[in-house]
Amino acid sequence: MQHARRRLLRRSALVSTVALTVGLSLGATGAGAQPGTGAGPAAVTAQSTSAPKLSSPDPGVMANLFEWNWTSVAKECTDVLGPAGYGGVQVAPPQDSVKRTKLGDGSDTILHPWWEVYQPVDYRLTSRMGSEAEFKSMVKTCRQAGVKVYVDAVINHMTGQGDTSYGGRTFERYAYSDLGVNHNASYANSDFHKYSGDCPSASGGIEDFNNLAQVRYCELVGLSDLRTDTTKVRKTLAAYLNKLLGYGVSGFRVDAAKHIGQPDLDAIYARLHNTVDGTRPLWALEVFGGGPGILSPQAFTSSGTVLGLDGVKQIRDAFKSYPDAHVGSIATLKVFGADSGLTPGGKTLSFVQNHDTERNGDALNYKDGARNILATQWLLASGYGTPQVYSAFTFSTNDDSPPATADGMVTNTDCSGGAWTCIDRNAGILGMVGWHNYVGKAQRQNWWDDGANVIAFGRGAKGWVAFNNGPEPKKITVQTGLSAGTYCDVVHGKKSGGSCTGPTITVRGNGKATVTVGATDAVAIQANRRV
């Protein structure tokens, strides 16, 4: 008990130091995330009554435990994420969703595909990941472990199919009674763009992803598009998100943010309460690249943080494997971030893959094995964005359900059976989470590469790392920027007492070290892990 409490105190001291030193550039993000004057009258009223403007702090490294059930998320926070120094965890959409009782068209073979959760029915937290009580308890447990919780918020639309929900409610499309928030508001026809006349496409769906009105007002893959431009819908959505904030949630990944649009996003954000920590909530907007002008991820950085979906493709192309087994060239990563055309790091949630891109070919995925781990370790070392480590379930078809009961309820994560990837627990990744936290915002220096697939760099005098994406081990002699000494390789070992449980690396008086980096492997040292 005493021991656990001491550990907790130490963690929170660590977290606040990280927030102070690392949070500065994100401080600017938070300020920028405050809606501007164009947010409309509703936003202005809400803002004048809300607490003083505060920025959202740097979340630190986030694990994205996609569709882990709440009990398993809680356990992971306590057993793995907190002790390793993860600052946050992103969880799947927790609101009540469609529960399919029959298959769709002929191509449809899976009754409870993973994507059921993206079809809200109401805002009670009765999902396939667990009950409202389990959700609340998970948030509490994670926070006690020093891990903040970020929720995937599905607020652009309601369901596109089905008639019953995990919470046992029945509905018809465009008529969802008793939503469970905002005095049990309901949605009726008049709350959907289908009936507002704003959608210009013939089919009522988004036929052209470059057409502004279609993107905002038409239906994304046939999902009932909410009139987020009305005060009633904004109030209802804000009531849902404020309920989550009240439970201790620290912010949101906003699903389909491109389809809500900046003015509506700003107006909804202006209605949000502060987090229980007294800061503004994280507002991480899902905007796929490719759209012109106002539809581009860059154009959403004035409304919040954005997901690094273009970065995912650059990482894939540098490492390469999926789907054609070719090796790319990680020497290209000397330039990565705003200088390679991506959104600025301080405004970006960066990752190697998420649940869409691991399936659509845009990204490396768990099937790339060591190469995927290597890329994740590189991301943690790069200093770009707020890095997420994606950890989910294995699949053979794009629609596969996570491991679940016949009824669709997700079963507890079992990291031994091969059904879950548990990448967040990989020992080398855990080592790099600690390394990332230790080097903080230290500048990259002493870049070295072989022109192909071996790279090395330091972060100030605090840490040094090398990656080999090639098929053979490679011996390199390079400047590390660290002072002379023998250091524990935190990718393959841990410092325990005065020694390292894995290999060590010796830095000579001139700062140079001679190191062999294994094939598809990394090594990393940090100034506070000297043996």
Residue 310 touches which of Ca ion, ligand ARE, none (CB < 5 to 8 A by kind)?
A: none
By CB under 5 A, how many residues form the interface with Ca ion?
3
Q: Which C-beta is closer to ligand ARE: that of 114 or that of 438?
A: 114
Handedness of CA 262, 265, 267, 272 (dihedral sign): negative
Footprint of ligand ARE on residues 92-131 (CB under 6 A)?
A: 115, 118-119
Q: Which C-beta is closer to Ca ion: that of 132 or that of 225?
A: 225
* Alpha-carbon span 305 to 283, nearest angstrom: 6
What token pair was written down for 201?
């496409």
Q: Which residues pair with 98 in a beta bridge?
A: 165
**Please, is 91 exposed, middle or buried when counting C-beta atoms within 10 Å of its C-beta (0-12, 13-18, 19+)?**
buried
Site string for ligand ARE, 348-387 (x = CB under 6 A): -------xx---x---------------------------
* Alpha-carbon span 426 to 434, nearest angstrom: 13
Tell me the residue type at 33: A
* Binding residue (CB under 6 A) for ligand ARE from 256, 373, 465, 466: 256
By CB under 6 A, how many residues form the interface with ligand ARE?
21
Q: Are 483 and 507 in contact (CB under 8 A)?
A: yes
Q: Are 58 and 349 in contact (CB under 8 A)?
A: no
Residue of minimal Cβ distance to Ca ion = 259
By the rule CB under 6 A, 161 interacts with ligand ARE: yes
By the rule CB under 5 A, 229 interacts with Ca ion: no
| Cis preceding-peptide flag for 402 (omega within 30 of 0) | no
**Rounded least distance, CB 193 to Ca ion, Å:** 6
**Rounded least distance, CB 117 to ligand ARE, Å:** 8
Residue 230 touches which of Ca ion, ligand ARE, none (CB < 5 to 8 A by kind)?
A: none
Of 72-80, 163-171, 259-267, 401-409: span binding Ca ion (CB under 5 A): 259-267
DSSP string, 211-229: -HHHHHHSBGGG--BB-TT
Residue of minimal Cβ distance to ligand ARE = 160
Footprint of ligand ARE on residues 274-293 (CB under 6 A)?
A: 286, 288, 290-291
**Rounded least distance, CB 341 to ligand ARE, Å:** 16
**Rounded least distance, CB 244 to ligand ARE, Å:** 17
By the rule CB under 5 A, 169 interacts with Ca ion: no
What token pair was written down for 450?
């072989």
Footprint of ligand ARE on residues 201-230 (CB under 6 A)?
A: 209, 220-223
What's the half-sphere exposure (Cβ side, CA atoms, 13 Å) at 220? 20
* Alpha-carbon span 464 to 445, nearest angstrom: 9
* Alpha-carbon span 82 to 74, nearest angstrom: 10
Q: Which C-beta is closer to ligand ARE: that of 160 or that of 383?
A: 160
**Rounded least distance, CB 65 to ligand ARE, Å:** 15
Q: Are 55 and 346 in contact (CB under 8 A)?
A: no
Residue 225 touches which of ligand ARE, Ca ion, none (CB < 5 to 8 A by kind)?
A: Ca ion
Footprint of Ca ion on residues 140-159 (CB under 5 A)?
A: 156
By the rule CB under 5 A, 286 interacts with Ca ion: no
State the catalytic residues. Answer: 255, 286
**Rounded least distance, CB 156 to Ca ion, Å:** 5
By the rule CB under 5 A, 259 interacts with Ca ion: yes
- Rg of the chain over Cα atoms, rounded to whole angstroms, equals 23
Q: Which C-beta is closer to Ca ion: that of 142 or that of 226?
A: 226
Residue 115 touches which of Ca ion, ligand ARE, none (CB < 5 to 8 A by kind)?
A: ligand ARE
**Please, is 517 exposed, middle or buried when counting C-beta atoms within 10 Å of its C-beta (0-12, 13-18, 19+)?**
buried
Q: Which C-beta is closer to Ca ion: that of 29 or that of 156?
A: 156
* Alpha-carbon span 180 to 173, nearest angstrom: 17
**Please, is 417 exposed, middle or buried when counting C-beta atoms within 10 Å of its C-beta (0-12, 13-18, 19+)?**
exposed
Q: Which helix (H) or strand (E) is 291 found in, with range?
A: none
Q: Are 64 and 351 in contact (CB under 8 A)?
A: yes
What token pair was written down for 461?
């005098």
* Alpha-carbon span 108 to 102, nearest angstrom: 10
Residue 286 touches which of ligand ARE, Ca ion, none (CB < 5 to 8 A by kind)?
A: ligand ARE
* Alpha-carbon span 335 to 343, nearest angstrom: 13
Q: Which C-beta is closer to Ca ion: that of 97 or that of 329?
A: 97
Q: Which C-beta is closer to ligand ARE: that of 118 or that of 123?
A: 118
**Rounded least distance, CB 272 to Ca ion, Å:** 19
* Binding residue (CB under 6 A) for ligand ARE from 76, 229, 255, 358: 255
Closest-CA residue to 138 (of 410, 379, 511)? 410
Kindly report the backbone phi and psi dihedral angles of residue 172, in degrees, each rounded to the nearest multiple of 5, phi listed first: -120, 150
Q: Which C-beta is closer to Ca ion: that of 259 or that of 492?
A: 259
**Rounded least distance, CB 365 to ligand ARE, Å:** 15
* Alpha-carbon span 14 to 82, nearest angstrom: 11
Q: Which helix (H) or strand (E) is 18 found in, with range?
A: helix 2-33
**Rounded least distance, CB 349 to Ca ion, Å:** 21
Footprint of Ca ion on residues 187-226 (CB under 5 A)?
A: 225
Q: Are 184 and 190 in contact (CB under 8 A)?
A: no
Residue 501 touches which of ligand ARE, Ca ion, none (CB < 5 to 8 A by kind)?
A: none
Which segments of 256-327 are extended strands (E)? 282-285, 305-307
Q: Which C-beta is closer to ligand ARE: that of 168 or that of 290?
A: 290
Residues in contact with Ca ion by the rule CB under 5 A: 156, 225, 259
Q: Provide the binding-site residues for ligand ARE, judged by CB under 6 A.
A: 115, 118-119, 154, 160-161, 209, 220-223, 255-256, 258, 286, 288, 290-291, 355-356, 360
